[in-house]
Amino acid sequence: MENMKKSLFGMGAALILLGGCAQKQEQPALTLSGLNPANFEATIDGTKPVKLYTLKNHQGMEVCVTNFGGRLVSIMVPDKNGNMTDVVLGFDSIADYQHIPSDFGASIGRYANRINQGKITIDGTEIQLPQNNFGHCLHGGPTGWQYQVYEASQTNDSTIVLTMKSPDGDNNFPGNVTANVTYTLTGDNAIDIKYDATTDKKTVINMTNHSYFNLNGDPSRPATDNILYIASDSITPVDSTYMTDGTMMAVKDTPFDFNTPKPIAPSVTDFSNEQVKFGNGFDHNWVLKTKGDITQVAAKLTSPVTGITLEVYTDEPGIQVYTGNFLDGTVKGKKGVVYPQRASVCLETQHYPDSPNKPQWPSVILEPGQTYHSHCIFKFGVEK
């Protein structure tokens, strides 16, 4: 009897151990960037599942994406010493993305940037959009696509397609719109982003990616030592509410001239320039000389610390450069790091701000039967 008790005890212990092992095996492994996929699994609005998706290439690069807002959560690239480095700001959990307002890594829609007083006119009818930023409509309104759930389809290890089915009246924009964002991690360490959209009613659309880059890999400190190049001879100047006035301002002999690569500081705090003062730094649209040629470098960012480079290619006419001026040390991001002012640089390829109200600028109108297309490439490299 005693031997039987010992035998049964041993079997029970073994089952407990096996059960423990099974439980451990069920726990998803951390990503290369240290994210726990379990922290990104949730159901939004009762019916819309969200999770973390991982893209990889043969060079060891890793890109993590959540379909909540179509966001790039982490981007791991090699530095000059071969060390893998996370170069974007973000959060460790879907709860933080839900409850801490941010555009970190988001696929912005329907309309990236600002629309004056939130008003557009289509076929003679004025439409009032939400006014969520200094009286203007910013990034599609307070519940723009960065706060909505995209349907996700990961077709292979390196590609994910995110689909937004936006109903007529979404933030008061007209038309039922179906939009796709396709992220592809290429073999040469580029994130290729393709956007397309269709509508059943005339509307406006202007999509972009809103990643906050810190190529130093240390978002606890400002990224203003990063070296910036922009292929541009002019910006679209703004007033004190960040609204464009329809003109273009030459960058020559101003802090906005990055035709020759230079560090972002001290130009970004040269408040003797009215435009820098209005933006509290850089929060402006540069008019690109590349004129829609996707093969030409539109902008380039380089870290003097890690040697990591980021080249931006686009078929869009403009790029918004935003230097994280509204970060104020109150937001705690991945790994508990507090993000100070100017901890990052955003490079948002786009049509110009307020284009619906500026007929002299490239049109953002999308009509039934047409397909909106936009293409952006973030290509990473190293300079030693």
Determine, yes or no, domain membership for 183: yes
Buried b (16+ CB within 10 A) or exposed e, 342-365: bbbbbbbbbbbbbbbbbeebeebb
CA distance 223 to 17: 49
Determine, yes or no, domain membership for 84: yes
Determine, yes or no, domain membership for 321: yes
Amino acid at 362: P
Determine, yes or no, domain membership for 361: yes
Count of domains forming the chain: 1
Determine, yes or no, domain membership for 166: yes
Active site (annotated) includes residue 210? yes
For residue 91, what are the contacts with CB-CB under 8 A and spacing of at least 6? 73, 97, 100, 102, 104, 333, 334
Average pLDDT, consecutive stretches of 10 residues, N- to C-terminus, the chain (384 residues): 44 44 61 98 96 97 98 98 98 97 97 98 97 98 98 96 98 98 98 98 98 98 98 98 97 98 98 97 98 98 98 98 96 97 98 98 98 98 94
Catalytic residue (one of 62, 136, 139, 210): 210
How many CB atoms are located within 10 Å of the residue 263 CB? 15
Active site (annotated) includes residue 373? no
CA distance 187 to 211: 21
Contact by Cβ (8 Å): 207, 108? yes
pLDDT score, position 155: 87
Rg (CA), the chain: 23
Determine, yes or no, domain membership for 64: yes
pLDDT score, position 141: 98
Range of the domain at 71: 37-223+293-382
DSSP 357: G
Side-chain-facing half-sphere of 170: CA atoms under 13 Å: 25
Beta pairing, strands 125-128 & 119-122: antiparallel
pLDDT score, position 27: 64
CATH number, domain at 123?
A: 2.70.98.10
pLDDT score, position 201: 98
Alpha helices in the chain (DSSP H): 2-26, 94-99, 274-279
Closest CA to 109 of 374, 292, 342, 331: 374
Torsion of CA 346, 349, 354, 358, to 10 degrees: 140
Determine, yes or no, domain membership for 236: no
Determine, yes or no, domain membership for 342: yes
Residue 124 tokens read as 């003679």
CA distance 131 to 9: 68
